[in-house]
Structure 1
Amino acid sequence: MLFCSMAATLFFVASAAAASAADWRSRSIYQVVTDRFATTNGLTGPCDPSARKYCGGTWQGLINRLDYIQNMGFDAVWISPVSANVEEETAYGDAYHGYWTRDLNTLNPKFGTPGDLKALGSALRDRNMYLMVDVVVNHYAAPPTNISEKIPQSFDFTSLAPFTSANDFHPQCFITDASNQTEVEQCWLGDASLPLLDIDTENPTNFEMLRSWIANLVLEYNIDGLRISDARYIRQSFWRDFAGASGVFAMGEILSDNVSYTSDYTQVLDAVLDYPTWFTLVEAFSGAKGDFDSLMRTVLESQEKYASGLCMTGSFVENYDQPRFPSFTKDESLIKNAITWPFIHDGIPIVYYGQEQGFQGGAVPSNHESLWSSDYHVYQKPLVQHITDLNAVRKLAINSKQNFLTTQMTFVPQLNDNAIAVSKPPLLALLTNAGNSSTATWTIPGNAGLFLKGQTLVDVLTCQSYNVDPVTGSLTVESRYGLPQVILPARYLDSKGSLCTGAAQNSARRIMRNHLSVSGVAMLIGLIATIHSFI
């Protein structure tokens, strides 16, 4: 059994009151695009993602809909960047997403007032939930100009704040070679239609201004964690000091499928988004020809190379930047299998708003739908229930005293190319890419040492019970319609909990029947084995 190293965590906790990396590890994050989640007055007008316009979502609207998020079992919310953005319409629409900064020190009035953002932080804390804020440190957006190869010399840098001079930014050159790290860090994102001015973070004055800004932002608005946009576009040495100044958990976006490249950033940040696994995950679960071997290799390489293994990563299927998974497949069984992955993964599960509603938007901006178009319905919404159950079983596993958060996931080899078995005690996840017209089968040999002979197990997604073979200790599971299963010993289920209460009661009755039918010595041996078993 392998455990995650925590050597690279807890770098940035400035006070006992701040949520540590270890605290965040137990959380489940719901990501929202603030402008698209909920309006202040609850109005549900049309919002066409392709228009790239503001649709009216606010921080107060989010406060009003926190029940919706919390009732699914989430205990952290990740919101869009909060700083003021360019106000003019650009060649790529409005800055409704929050990533085109023009003034770090001023909040985006489209999302609400300073009081509203403070109220959001307070509302979350009252619910024992964390607030994660997306931050853009790498660049500013130039207000729209005429399309040309360079920003006109007459450009008024004083329209930006607090960086008001051309000298505050790297000389203009657009990134053309993403494999050239110097170019990645020194040149600009964007294009001539909307240049993203690259901040000269090597300038000591600029560096101190950024440190001061993030420290004040966190303190002023009771922020518990940061998601750092475009972290790969600034030198690695910058992040340790910047995140340290914030005093809170920091997770960086490193958009790369390369584990070795991404691993370098795990040395200077608390966590990274698990993009290398995401690339193989989407391919693996998009259809029956998906490659589970590639997925497993990526996981094993990441566990080996990342500073804390995969335990300090953000695991996701969808996000703001990538097409929604149902845009690749409409097969609900495949979708459920993919959604299950982050919850049995070593890292922190992240669900992108609308994922629970089955939104199908493709590439940006199609994947920025308004959530109010769903009327926030939760009944007869199979993915809402699926995600709620996954959050519940993950919390149950965390509280099981089986070191769930620090024990690395392992794979139990399967002969079926369409089946993958993931062990993360006390959970065993059985996933498949066979699709809803197929039946999947998994075999867990007794020598895997996962369960006791004769033990009763329950799939918490269907409440189906299984008995481990009393002689060989092996387990064979079949799933009709290609649905995922998340199995654990029935003894962990609470008859008063939300998961498979009937199965918990049946398990208790079964134990009582055994008590009446075996000798006192045998019962004592069984109880001792149960208490001390490695599940």
Structure 2
Amino acid sequence: MLNVPRCASVAILVLQLLLSAMVAAAPADQWTKRSIYQIVTDRFALGDGTSPSCNIGERKYCGGTWQGIIDKLDYIQEMGFDAIWISPIVENVEGVTDGGEAYHGYWAQNIYSLNPHFGTADDLRSLSNALHQRNMYLMVDIVVNHLVAVPTSNTWPQSFDYSLLQPFGGSNCFHPECFISDYNNQTDVEQCWLGYSGLPLLDLDTENATTVNTMYSWIKDLVSDYSIDGLRVDTVKHVRKDFWPEFAANAGVYTVGEVLIGDVPYAAPYTNGLDSILDYPTYFAVYNAFTSGGNMATIADMVTQAQDQYNHGTFYVGSFVENQDNPRIPSIVSDNSIIRNAMTWPFINDGIPILYYGQEQGYKGGNDPANREALWPSGFNTEDNPLFAHVQALNAARKYAIASSPAFLLSKARFIPQSSASSTLAVSKSPLLALLTNGGSSSTESWSIPNSAGLYSANETLVDVLTCNTVSTDADGNLNVMAKNGMPQVLIPARLLSPSGSLCAGQAQGL
């Protein structure tokens, strides 16, 4: 990686940008065919195969490494994933801070060095190579908004050892110290600091041309050096919007940003600078519907807004129901059918599905740090594990839909109105029809798909690929389906399934 000087010479930085090598791009339209398994590197697997204790409440490193991920790629691929998203890779603040250790990777201190807790540069390149040999993609989490240094004084403004903050090294590279006090003031959001006095996140001055060009050069080199296929970008709304288009152009790969808000009109402009965003507005609607008995119709309302307002609609968004910043679904509800319905959502709508590690093992962690558990105590169980099998079936169904219908990735999900709209959702994305409910395992919900929806012909057999059970339309082409213990259903016409295929072959009626 090029060693860019501290906030000094714009001319030198521009020259370095011109000389940086181009990388083979993995654009957004290639990512739409993928499904992503999200990993907190420190908590996934150790390279030596051991299973040490991990006290998540201590907020300390537990030992996960990039080599550990390599050793468990069979496990990830067996679920049907063909991309992984790993936590930030650069060197973080060392030692125990007011917020614990930086095991999560979001407290960068030197963006030109790797975090030695996770391995070496060769280890990271080995991970990238191992993924590519399996036709899998590597997404890396990055932080652009801030760096972290422990205060050296308790005075105000605070003092820091700026020499630790590489390659910047001077206070002129950062916005003046002020903590965000008004999230309705966008200037405050973009130019004041996250964190608090005990652990301040020093906000990079992304109006400073030298700082900006440093970041543009850094991301181009990072992607090239480690053959990265995509980037998840942290704290995007805390950086001015017009910073992002050129940043994404320098990255040259799919960029998906975190804009932590439940408001589509606020989030939508960020899809013009980056390829897309993590779809937090829909996440909040889904989370509320499945954990608090909220109205399922709000999911359809939110998605419809996003389809209309996001650049590229919702085809490029990251679709998720759990991640490292939000409580896991089972931390709120224990009903297995509700959990499975929620897990189904990311795989049956327009977005790119993301599964947070541990969902397949039924992890129940609440707010940070409880939702950042070590995975190795699970034994990476694949046998007699209904959630693991559920994820396999969802990935298989989506991949089948992509392979069998060229229009699948470019057709908007449709919502078929239901009389019990508060507790049921019918999502059509041909050839899939997903029937979801938040009624729970004792519910008696039903769905009605009229022939006017134009989905099916008379007396047509449909297969629920999650169970391989069948249902049929009536003589007029209407479909009426009852809930089975409140479980989700993902239906595909039997005529489209092959008896020689791997998806419910026993019920297939195709050639």
TM (norm. structure 1) is 0.90
- CA apart distance, 1:495: 2.6
Report the counterpart of residue 66 of structure 1 in structure 2.
73
- Counterpart CA distance in 1 for 2:300 and 2:267 is 17
AA at the equivalent of 2:136: M
Q: Report which stretch shifted further, 402-411 or 138-147.
A: 138-147
1:385 aligns with 2:392: no
Relative distance call for 1:331 and 1:145 in structure 2 (3 A) is: farther
Q: What does 1:417-432 correspond to in 2, within 5 Å?
A: 417-432=422-437
- Counterpart CA distance in 2 for 1:196 and 1:17 is 33
Report the counterpart of residue 224 of structure 2 in structure 1.
219
- CA apart distance, 1:64: 0.4
Residue of structure 2 aligned with 1:243, choices 235, 248, 253: 248
Report the counterpart of residue 529 of structure 1 in structure 2.
none
- Counterpart CA distance in 2 for 1:436 and 1:215 is 50
- Counterpart CA distance in 2 for 1:182 and 1:112 is 38
- Counterpart CA distance in 2 for 1:32 and 1:170 is 31
Paired residue secondary structure (1:57): coil
Residue of structure 1 aligned with 2:110, choices 103, 106, 121: 103
- CA apart distance, 1:148: 5.2
Report the counterpart of residue 77 of structure 1 in structure 2.
84
- Counterpart CA distance in 1 for 2:250 and 2:23 is 15
Point out where structure 2 has 5 or more consecutive residues left out of the alignment.
1-20
Residue of structure 1 aligned with 2:128, choices 99, 121, 132: 121
Report the counterpart of residue 3 of structure 1 in structure 2.
none
In 2, are the aligned partners of 1:89 and 1:144 still within 8 Å (CA)?
no
- CA apart distance, 1:101: 0.6
- Counterpart CA distance in 2 for 1:21 and 1:368 is 28
- Counterpart CA distance in 2 for 1:345 and 1:145 is 49
AA at the equivalent of 1:485: Q
Report the counterpart of residue 7 of structure 2 in structure 1.
none
Report the counterpart of residue 30 of structure 1 in structure 2.
37
Paired residue secondary structure (1:442): strand
1:183 aligns with 2:188: yes
- CA apart distance, 1:149: 4.7
Relative distance call for 1:482 and 1:147 in structure 2 (3 A) is: farther
Report the counterpart of residue 164 of structure 2 in structure 1.
159
1:354 aligns with 2:361: no
1:174 aligns with 2:179: yes
Report the counterpart of residue 299 of structure 1 in structure 2.
303
Residue of structure 1 aligned with 2:209, choices 204, 207, 213: 204
- Counterpart CA distance in 2 for 1:239 and 1:267 is 9
1:329 aligns with 2:333: yes
Taking every aligned residue pair, what percent have the same amino acid on both sides?
Answer: 53
AA at the equivalent of 2:80: G
In 2, are the aligned partners of 1:58 and 1:112 still within 8 Å (CA)?
yes
Q: What does 1:280-299 correspond to in 2, within 5 Å?
A: 280-286=285-291, 289-299=293-303
Residue of structure 1 aligned with 2:98, choices 88, 91, 105: 91
- Counterpart CA distance in 2 for 1:406 and 1:149 is 54
- Counterpart CA distance in 2 for 1:494 and 1:41 is 42
Q: CA RMSD in A?
A: 1.3
Residue of structure 2 aligned with 1:130, choices 130, 137, 146: 137
Report the counterpart of residue 462 of structure 1 in structure 2.
467
Relative distance call for 1:481 and 1:149 in structure 2 (3 A) is: farther
Paired residue secondary structure (1:447): helix
AA at the equivalent of 1:344: I
- CA apart distance, 1:494: 2.7
In 1, are the aligned partners of 2:418 and 2:448 still within 8 Å (CA)?
yes
Q: How many residues align?
A: 490
Report the counterpart of residue 20 of structure 1 in structure 2.
27
Q: Deviations over 1:167-192 (max 9, x none)?
A: 11000000011111001111100100
In 2, are the aligned partners of 1:148 and 1:192 still within 8 Å (CA)?
no
- CA apart distance, 1:144: 4.9
In 2, are the aligned partners of 1:90 and 1:144 still within 8 Å (CA)?
no
TM (norm. structure 2) is 0.94
- CA apart distance, 1:401: 2.2
AA at the equivalent of 2:351: G
Report the counterpart of residue 437 of structure 1 in structure 2.
442
In 1, are the aligned partners of 2:23 and 2:223 still within 8 Å (CA)?
no
Report the counterpart of residue 200 of structure 2 in structure 1.
195
- Counterpart CA distance in 2 for 1:191 and 1:496 is 59
In 2, are the aligned partners of 1:148 and 1:193 still within 8 Å (CA)?
no
Q: Deviations over 1:106-135 (max 9, x none)?
A: 000000000000000000000000000000
Residue of structure 2 aligned with 1:363, choices 343, 346, 367: 367
- CA apart distance, 1:402: 4.8
AA at the equivalent of 1:94: E
- Counterpart CA distance in 2 for 1:312 and 1:15 is 23
AA at the equivalent of 1:193: G
- Counterpart CA distance in 2 for 1:271 and 1:476 is 36
Relative distance call for 1:92 and 1:499 in structure 2 (3 A) is: same
- CA apart distance, 1:146: 5.1
- Counterpart CA distance in 2 for 1:49 and 1:487 is 40
In 1, are the aligned partners of 2:326 and 2:367 still within 8 Å (CA)?
yes
State which structure, 1 or 2, has the greater radius of gyration over its C-alpha atoms.
Answer: 1
- Counterpart CA distance in 2 for 1:122 and 1:144 is 39
Q: Deviations over 1:299-323 (max 9, x none)?
A: 1111111111111100000001100
- Counterpart CA distance in 2 for 1:86 and 1:495 is 56
AA at the equivalent of 1:240: P
In 2, are the aligned partners of 1:284 and 1:433 still within 8 Å (CA)?
yes
1:480 aligns with 2:484: yes
AA at the equivalent of 1:484: P
Paired residue secondary structure (2:506): helix
Residue of structure 2 aligned with 1:405, choices 409, 413, 417: 409
Paired residue secondary structure (2:485): helix
Paired residue secondary structure (1:88): coil
- Counterpart CA distance in 2 for 1:63 and 1:125 is 12
In 2, are the aligned partners of 1:59 and 1:117 still within 8 Å (CA)?
yes
AA at the equivalent of 1:419: T
Report the counterpart of residue 265 of structure 2 in structure 1.
260
- Counterpart CA distance in 2 for 1:495 and 1:356 is 28
Paired residue secondary structure (1:480): coil
Residue of structure 2 aligned with 1:320, choices 297, 315, 324: 324
In 2, are the aligned partners of 1:88 and 1:144 still within 8 Å (CA)?
no
Residue of structure 2 aligned with 1:232, choices 197, 215, 237: 237
Q: Report which stretch shifted further, 292-301 or 321-330.
A: 292-301
